[in-house]
Structure formats: structure tokens, C-alpha cells
Chains A and B, each alone.
Chain A
Amino acid sequence: NAGVMQNPRHLVRRRGQEARLRCSPMKGHSHVYWYRQLPEEGLKFMVYLQKENIIDESGMPKERFSAEFPKEGPSILRIQQVVRGDSAAYFCASSPLAGEAGANVLTFGAGSRLTVL
């Protein structure tokens, strides 16, 4: 069990480009969370997804940001037309389905560090 896999670990983009960050949850986990950590700041919730469904996106900026968790493949956090203020570490975490054994267990990925030049 490889744990939560995030890629790329580091991504450099120029202003106006698109950034795509991927997260493969732990085997057997059906819920994915994305968090952002700005430099010298704490973690902030962005979005909570299960397969093919966004459960809570109240932490997502209204524009340029989107997330999906398709039936097959990893969850993707997409940032269009990146700006310097998007430079941050983006962490993904996964958990089992609520109500299943260990439902509150949360496993974090190593994070993807986005730098916008």
C-alpha cells in the first residue's frame, strides 16, 4: 500500500499558465480532501470529494480553481491562469467512506509545491 501519492512534487509555472496537481488516494479510500498551505501560514481547507461527486467546495476560490475525482484515476486540482499568489504547497489527504471502519483515519500525501514565476 503506497499511501497517498501526489504528483508532481514540485511544479513551476509562469503567470497565466495552467497547473494540474494529482492525488491518488490510499487503496480502499473513497474520500479525498485538498488543502492549501501558503508560505508561513497554516493549512486551509479547499475541497472535499468522493468519486464523481464534490461534497464540499466551500474553501475553493470562486474563479480559476476546480477539482474533480473521476470514477477512474486520480483526483485532480486544476488552477487556470495562475498568479503569483497561487504559489503554495497543496496537500491531499484521503479517508475511507464515512461509516466504514476507520472512517476518521486521515492519511496525507507529501504535497505538491507550486511556484508561479
Chain B
Amino acid sequence: KNEVEQSPQNLTAQEGEFITINCSYSVGISALHWLQQHPGGGIVSLFMLSSGKKKHGRLIATINIQEKHSSLHITASHPRDSAVYICAVRSYNTDKLIFGTGTRLQVFP
């Protein structure tokens, strides 16, 4: 079993829909990152969380430390949101980043 699990693996949506991507982890962490990777592109850090909730534009990220779970929400989705969204946790013990396998999101007009 992977230490970081994301769901769903693939997600399609119509423009305007509300989207949720989930991340569960099994290790103790010092931080959790949500990353975005466009096809053939680099990696952009969207959020870094250690507790609570953060919001940036149409993106919202939440984390529940007790349940070892985080969610990334996209409100009023747009085709330009189409990308792979990756959850990564920094292990408290090793300081190493452990990545989920990513969620491939396609938003159609």
C-alpha cells in the first residue's frame, strides 16, 4: 500500500462544476503540499498545509491531521484547470517528500 493515496486517479468535469480531489496518507507529516503539473510542463506548488484550510482564488485546500486526510477543491472549474494534481507529504521523521500518483483532471467546455 502506498504511503500517500489519491483519489480519484482520473476525473472529467464540465466547465463550472465543483471538483474535489482527495489525499490520504499513513505517515507522520510536517507538511502537505498540493502541486499542479500541466502536460509536458513543470510543477507548480499550489498550497503547503500543516493544519486547517487555505484558499487561493478558486482553489481551496483543507487538511485533517487526526484523520490524515486532505482535500483540494476547485470551484467554478475551467478548461485551463486541466492538469495533473499531485499530493505530496513531507515525512516528519525523514524530511523526505512522498508523492501520491496524481489525479488527472480534464475540464471540458
Chain B interface SS verdict (over half): strand
- Residues in chain B near residue A33, CB distance under 8 A: 97
Within 8 A of A (CB), among B84-99: 86, 88, 90, 94-99
B65 within 8 A of A: no
Residues of B within 8 A of A106 (CB): 33, 45, 48, 90, 97
Number of CB contacts from chain A to chain B under 8 A: 53
B-facing residues in A27-43 (Cβ within 8 Å): 33, 35, 41-43
B27 at interface (Cβ–Cβ under 8 A)?
no
- CB of B102 within 8 A of CB of A42, answer yes
- Residue contact B86 to A43, C-beta cutoff 8 Å: yes
Q: Are A48 and B96 in contact (CB-based, < 8 A)?
A: yes
Beta-carbon contact of B31 and A42 below 8 Å: no
Chain A residues, Cβ within 8 Å of B96: 45, 48, 56, 58
Q: Which chain A residues lie closer than 8 Å to B98 at the CB level?
A: 45
Across the interface, A105 reaches (CB within 8 A) one of B48, B86, B95, namely B48
Bound complex: CA of A111 vs CA of B35, how far in Å? 14
Do B42 and A45 touch (CB < 8 A)?
Answer: no
Which B residues lie within 8 Å of A58 (CB)? 96
A-B contact list, 7 entries, CB within 8 Å = A43-B86, A106-B97, A107-B45, A108-B35, A108-B44, A108-B45, A109-B42
